[in-house]
Amino acid sequence: MTSRTCLSIILAAGEGTRMKSAKPKVLHEIACLPMVAHVAAAAKKAGGGDVALVVGYGADEVRKAAARLNPAPEIFVQEQRLGTGHAVLAARTAIARGDDDLLVMFGDTPLIEAEPLLAARQKLAEGAAVAVVGFRPADPAGYGRLIEKDGKLVAIREVKDASEAEKKIGFCNGGLMAISGKHALALLDAVGNRNANSEYYLTDIVEIAHARGLNVVAIEASAESVLGINNRAELAQAEAIWQRRRRHAAMLSGVTLIAPETVFFSHDTEIGQDTLVEPNVWFGPGVKIASGATIHAFSHIEGATIATGAQVGPFARLRPGADLHEKAKVGNFCEVKKATVEKGAKVNHLTYIGDARVGAGANIGAGTITCNYDGFGKHFTDIGAGAFVGSNSSLIAPVTLGDGAYIASGSVITDDVEADALAFGRTRQKTIPGKGKELRERFAAAAAAKKK
């Protein structure tokens, strides 16, 4: 099919009132990616990389979302909501360019995969004028029925217009359709609105094509792949399905998930084989993990790169720009943002490292923070290889610690420290005998006086 051109028409004009949201329905996310972008990605994998996006409410935001995993789509605005057939014709000028195949898709079916789309296009290559993607739900109530005769699809009947006999059919319309480009406009222009809703149904082209002696076929997809999202409950259902698929794929690729149902991936998570992921870990967008890493329980990772043999957590947070090199360690209750932790370096406990470099083999003590923000701008902290930073230290950026520098615990470091130097950033301890007892007696007396 590489020689056949294909236009994907994605219908994304609905406001989605049942989502109870101020933003367009198709912008709600599955695996940290808007639903419409999932659909556009599937279209691209099926060879339909040229996208005509039919939008209404929130047009610019929808266009930007669809472009995240596909070239920038061509935008068509559906001014009135007069049915799916009317929506497709909003892209008339794109259809008129004469692509061999048209894929008609919906922006709220984020679980669609390339396989049924490719199968539908193959039917067009074999001579069909229309190929409809159907499915067999456990409960067909509410779905349009696919009516077949002698192995051919002769009609799609919307449930409001179906007879009692037709309602007993279990093969239902999945909404996705492939149409031969040379017949598309003629079929779409023939669609009328004589039905219970007075709308122009895209599905009517099946009956029109059959009446004209054209070949119309149906292919079957899983119910999951054509799941449409109308409310938040269905959004959560789709998220669960997507995550289940992704966890299964990760484990088959050689990743160990101790409690798979508690691990959540983003749409673009990359994770190498022999990586171990403990329970209750969340991966946001932009995470790349090499082979053999260990992600301990209750870690939150986004926009980070983790090299072979590195360890994260438990209870760690890696924010965008975190870059852990080979065998680096970021331990419990630590946060790293826009910082490089080089080979073998350790950031073990209760620590914040932001806008910084931690050199190879360096050790960062518990409670250390890089003070990178002055209220107006961010500043860089450079910690050399083999440096030792004692517990409860504050490094006031911009500041540089040379290779092998040693920072005494409890220090506030405001000036650069040269290589192999020892730095104290604290006053010397003073002990006054008996003063503790005196203070306790004074405070106790003051508290007693308040109660009188």
Q: Which residues contact 358 (CB under 8 A, 6 or more apart)?
A: 328, 339, 340, 341, 342, 345, 347, 364, 383
Strands (DSSP E) found in 222-287: 256-257, 263-264, 270-271, 276-277, 281-283
| Distance in angstroms (rounded) separating the CA atoms of residues 311 and 328 | 6
Q: Is the pLDDT of residue 58 over 80?
A: no
Q: Give pLDDT, residue 60.
A: 78
Place of tokens 């008339």: 92
Report the percentage of the chain scoring pLDDT > 70. Answer: 99
- Token pair 């219970």 is found at 196
Tell me what the mean pLDDT of segment 3-25 comes to. 88
Coil, helix or strand for 408? coil
User: 287 phi and psi, to 5 degrees?
Assistant: -100, 130
Question: How far, in Å, CA of 44 to CA of 113, rounded?
Answer: 10
Q: Name the burial class of residue 179, with classes exposed (0-12), middle (13-18) and buried (19+) by CB atoms within 10 angstroms of its CB.
A: buried
Which pLDDT does position 49 carry in this prediction? Answer: 77
Are the C-beta atoms of 6 and 97 separated by less than 8 Å? no
Q: What pLDDT, on the 0 to 100 scale, is given for residue 427?
A: 84
Please count the CA atoms within 13 angstroms of the CA of 98 that sit on its side-chain side: 0
Q: Residues, the chain, total?
A: 452
Amino acid at 270: E
* C-beta atoms surrounding 349 within 10 Å: 15
Which pLDDT value is given to residue 2? 62
Residue pair 365/359 in contact by the 8 Å Cβ criterion: no
Q: What is the pLDDT of residues 44-54, one digit of tens each?
A: 999 987 999 99
Tally of CB atoms within 10 A around 445: 9
> Which domains does the chain possess?
6-226 (3.90.550.10), 232-423 (2.160.10.10)
pLDDT, greater one: 45 or 196: 45
Respond yes or no: is residue 300 known to be catalytic. Answer: no
Surface-to-core class of residue 93, CB atoms within 10 Å of its CB (0-12 exposed, 13-18 middle, 19+ buried): exposed
Backbone angles phi, psi at 69, to 5 degrees: -125, 25
With left for phi above 0 and alpha for psi between -120 and 50, is residue 371 left, alpha or beta? Answer: beta
d(CA 52, CA 42) in angstroms, rounded, equals 14
When pLDDT is averaged across residues 16-32 and rounded to a whole number, the result is: 90
pTM for the whole thing? 0.90
- What is the distance between the alpha carbons of residues 71 and 427, in angstroms, rounded to a whole number? 60
- Tokens representing 172 are 């239902």
Instruction: Let me know how many helices (H) and strands (E) the chain has, helices first.
Output: 10, 36
Q: What is the mean pLDDT of residues 100-129?
A: 96
b/e sequence 276-291, b meaning 16+ C-beta within 10 Å: ebbebbbbbebbebbe
Distance CA 266, CA 67 (A): 18
Is the per-residue pLDDT at 9 higher than 90?
yes
How far is Cα 241 from Cα 250, in angstroms, rounded to an integer? 14
- Stretch 422-433: mean pLDDT, rounded? 90
Catalytic residue (one of 28, 248, 349, 379): 349
- 22: confidence class by pLDDT, cuts 50, 70, 90: confident
Residue 37 phi, psi (nearest 5): -70, -35
For residue 428, the SS3 value is: coil
Q: Report the chain's mean pLDDT, rounded to a whole number.
A: 93
Please identify which residue in the block is written with the tokens 């390339």.
Answer: 114
| Average pLDDT estimate for 165-176 | 93
Q: Please say whether the beta carbons of 236 and 254 come within 8 A.
A: no
Residue 248 to residues 31, 34, 139, 236, Cα–Cα distance (Å): 15, 22, 27, 18
Work out whether the CA dihedral 143, 147, 153, 157 comes out positive or negative: negative
Which has more confidence, 201 or 322? Answer: 322
Does the pLDDT value for residue 195 go beyond 90?
Answer: no
Q: What is the pLDDT of residues 306-351, one digit of tens each?
A: 999 999 999 999 999 999 999 999 999 999 999 999 999 999 999 9
Give pLDDT, residue 198. Answer: 83
- Looking at the DSSP assignment, which residues form a beta bridge with residue 413? 395
